[in-house]
Amino acid sequence: MPGTVIVTDSTASLPPEVAAARGIVVVPLQVVIGAKVLDEGAEGATPEFVAQALRDFVPVSTSRPAPAAMLEVYEKLAADGAQSVLSVHLSGEMSGTLESAQLAAREASVEVVVVDSRQVAAATGFAALAAADVLDAGGDVHAAADAARALAAASHSWFYVDTLEYLRRGGRIGAAAALLGGALAVKPLLEIRDGRVASLERVRTAGRALQRLEDLVVSTAGDREVDLCVAHLANPERAHHLTTRLRERLGDRLTGQVWCTELGAVLGAHVGPGMVAAAIAPRL
């Protein structure tokens, strides 16, 4: 086992094969669907399961890993020979996962450095991969943590939703904003700003929202080489179309990771079916 092991959570949207290849340990968050409590993942809460529950008005909520669960992960890694752990997680402004990691780190028998990516989904995953690159090059846990923070700060995430209702239910936006969006029958275009969900603009149609997402990605990428992730919940055709268009427009600026994937169950529970997102991370 390497001297430092990277841990992240399931909202980071890392494909299982990528996490395995880079030696990144993924801790699942939980989804509560009706009376069932399930770990996020293929054997538990899947995006399809959550999307259908939301359509059927079944109560859906999410839960962070307990500090004891995080500590168990850290202690297992220490027992297997890890000398330090780098724990990279979604924004502490939107989840208690970071706090669980911090509490567990204080009790761990091995050094644990916790990083708040202040991002969600693939932008957090890209930060974890940037840390893995530093470790592979011989850097220590603190250099890897600095790389994760720097990449997360340089990354951008945008998404549109069919309705703001699911974000309202989860407490991510206020009731007034959700009511206004519904009354105007618009497609809200949102972004992650300062670790929180923030309104960017409102457009009239899903097609226009996708075009704006495309333009935002291309203009923000500029001349830089970037990693790209397009994610969706129960909206594969639009996601694949957006990915195709971005491949065409970005061309050889896409030098690394390019993913088109369904959003995980935990984040999906807060945005609802129909959501399409795009995230880019520059090659620093």
Identify the pLDDT of residue 182.
46
Strand ranges inside the chain, DSSP E: 4-9, 25-27, 30-33, 36-39, 60-63, 84-89, 111-116, 156-160, 187-193, 196-203, 226-232, 254-262, 276-282
Low-confidence residues in the chain, pLDDT < 70: 1, 168-185
Q: How many other CB atoms are found less than 10 A from the CB of residue 253?
A: 18
Positive/negative CA dihedral, 42, 268, 231, 99 = negative
Identify the pLDDT of residue 114.
98
Strand order in the sheet with 84-89: 25-27, 4-9, 84-89, 111-116
Question: What angle is formed at CA 51 by the lines to CA 49 and CA 55, rounded to 5 degrees?
Answer: 115
Question: In the chain, what are the domains?
Answer: 4-29+64-154 (3.40.50.10170), 156-282 (3.30.1180.10)
Identify the pLDDT of residue 111.
98
Identify the pLDDT of residue 168.
67
Task: Specify the long-range contacts of residues 55-60, CB closer than 8 Å, at least 24 apart.
Answer: 55/273, 58/33, 58/34, 59/32, 59/33, 59/34, 60/31, 60/32, 60/33, 60/269
Identify the pLDDT of residue 175.
43
Positive/negative CA dihedral, 245, 231, 152, 128 = negative
The pTM of this model reads: 0.92
